Every structure is written in structure tokens, then in C-alpha cells.
Amino acid sequence: SQQGEEDPQALSIQEGENATMNCSYKTSINNLQWYRQNSGRGLVHLILIRSNEREKHSGRLRVTLDTSKKSSSLLITASRAADTASYFCATGLRMDSSYKLIFGSGTRLLVRP
């Protein structure tokens, strides 16, 4: 079963606008990561935020984490047509000597030129 739930499931915006995606999760985590996937291909890592961090930036990306609410948000500013993709949050969970990612169901972003 999925750990995270992204909201919204789909988002359509105009080029130049900002896109905000939200993610909620259920259990304690070591970190939360955001990935992008183009047309059912491999996942591209965007950003990792640790459980003791509240906000992180990378270029046009801004991620926030609220562990008390078990939620995170991804903001893409000044969106471009090339940002059209599916975006997934994944919680990093350590168990014994290993570590796995638990993904949400994703937000499908369409940026109209």
C-alpha cells in the first residue's frame, strides 16, 4: 500500500505560473524526497529534505516539511512546458540495516505553453 498521498492528483497551469503539490504520509520518516517522472520512464531525483529540516530550496523548487502534520509541499516557481511530468513524493524509511522508499500515487502536472 502507498504511504503517501499527493494532492492534487492532476494539475493544469499556464507557463509562468507557480505549481504547488502536496504530500501527506502516515509513519515516522528519516527523510522525504521528491521525484519527477516523464511519460512512464525512470524517476529523476529532485530534492531530499531530512526530518529535522523545515524548508529546502533548489533552483526553482521549494520544498517544505511539517512533521507534526506529516505533510510536505513542493512548489515549482515560474513553470515551463518542460516541467510537464508526474511528481512523486517518497518517504525514506530505515528498517534495521536497510532502507527503502515508500512512494505516493503522484501528481500529474501539465504546463500549457
Partner 1 sequence: DAGVTQSPTHLIKTRGQQVTLRCSPKSGHDTVSWYQQALGQGPQFIFQYYEEEERQRGNFPDRFSGHQFPNYSSELNVNALLLGDSALYLCASSLAMRGPNNEQFFGPGTRLTVL
Question: Given the rule CB under 8 A, which residues bind partner 1?
Answer: 1-2, 4, 30-31, 33, 35, 40-45, 48, 50, 88, 90, 92-106
Distance CA 28, CA 15 (A): 36
Instruction: Give whichever of 76 and 88 is closer to partner 1, judged by the CB atom.
Output: 88
Residue 73 CB, nearest distance to partner 1 (Å)?
17
On the 0-12 / 13-18 / 19+ scale of CB atoms within 10 A, 44 is exposed
By beta-carbon proximity to partner 1, the closer residue of 33 and 79 is: 33
Shorter beta-carbon distance to partner 1: residue 14 or 98: 98
CB of 76 vs partner 1, minimal distance in Å: 19
Query: Running DSSP on this structure, what letter comes out for residue 9?
Result: S
Half-sphere exposure of 96 (CA within 13 A, CB side): 0
